[in-house]
Structure 1
Amino acid sequence: MLAMFAVAVQTLGTVDILINNAGIQRDADLLQMSLDDWQQVIAVNLTGQFLCAREAAREFLRRGVVAERSCAAGKLICISSVHQRIPWAGHINHAASKDGVAMLMTSLAQEPAPQRIRVNSIAPGAIKTDINRDAWATPDEEARLLQLILFGRVGNAQDVAKAAVWLASDESDCVTGATLYVDGGMVLYPALRNNGEAVSGRGRCKNVS
């Protein structure tokens, strides 16, 4: 990690923005999940974000604010998931790592704020990517997935990218310690929108964040 940031600073001159985007899944039911399954996910999804954030903050503090570049000394964006709020049976390592990212982000945001370093998260919901194609590849699969999304649209990579651009810009200069959900309303308890009455197909599809 130290070598990676040293190369970045040597090549680019400095680092202004970090987007902590690395993540993996090792899915298994509780009794089938190995310690290696657990540790690999925590190592990449949570420990990796901590290590990158620490080195980025070190560079932000070394350089300080450069007014012609930004109002802030640095911007740190953690990519989390709706599963920092929504439990996910069969994926407990993934859900635990994302809930950990949420507390990592808010705790990080407290520490360097007086030095003008902003720390925020993006929590995507169902986003169309190759890794989850089986959850939306057919009209029937996508219809089942949409039962979980109040806004009625599965997201795409551009939706997440636009959120990252905003958080990395001075347009969001008064925002720190916040999680921006890019999920079409998945965390708004869609099952309760009809006074708790069952909705056909709800809950049968794979979550794909």
Structure 2
Amino acid sequence: MKNMDNYRWIIPSLIALGVILLSGGIFVGVKSYETLEANSTKVDNTTQKNLSSKQKFKLDEYCQIWLQDDNEIPVMLGKVNEDLLNKTEDEIKTALKEKYPDKEVSTMNKYQIILKTSEDGTDLSKANKYTLENEDGYISVFKYNKEGKKELVEKTSIQIKSLPKSVQEELKDAIVLDNEDDAYSRLEDFGS
């Protein structure tokens, strides 16, 4: 029996070693699975983006295009043309950029597209022109340089609400004029 007493520690040691190895194996397996899942998700997201840029976006035939700029009430520009209905997201954005060069797509889903003014504040369609615009309820005169960048020329004391409704409607989109003389001539009409 004396021989057996010397080896009593072997069984508990083997059990402890087995538990440690089993725990370590489970830990390594879980970590490997998590890493595999994370990498798989990244690949799925990249694949999804690539597929979505090549797949048709499937706009609804009644999809509306809206203009929403900071602190302004959204304005409906109309509904999408039929030729955009079977296009990819990239093709739709390109077509809208051609039609509205100073706007960019803010959000887009099946039923509506929301545009906003480009961040750089340029509008090539108004290059070298003057505009009369609503700024804080008053008419302001702006000049667009050759790159289409807007700069304030004058903020007038003519209140928008004092003008006829038809003029107020014109000022929602800005009144574009070819030169400074035309701008001030039109402004005089509003002041009288």
Report the TM-score range of the alignment, normalised by the length of the smaller protein: under 0.3
Choose 1 or 2 for highest CA Rg.
2
TM-score (norm 2): 0.19
TM superposition score normalised by structure 1: 0.18
Which structure features the higher share of strand residues? 2
| Larger RCO, structure (CA 8 Å, separation 6 or more) | 1
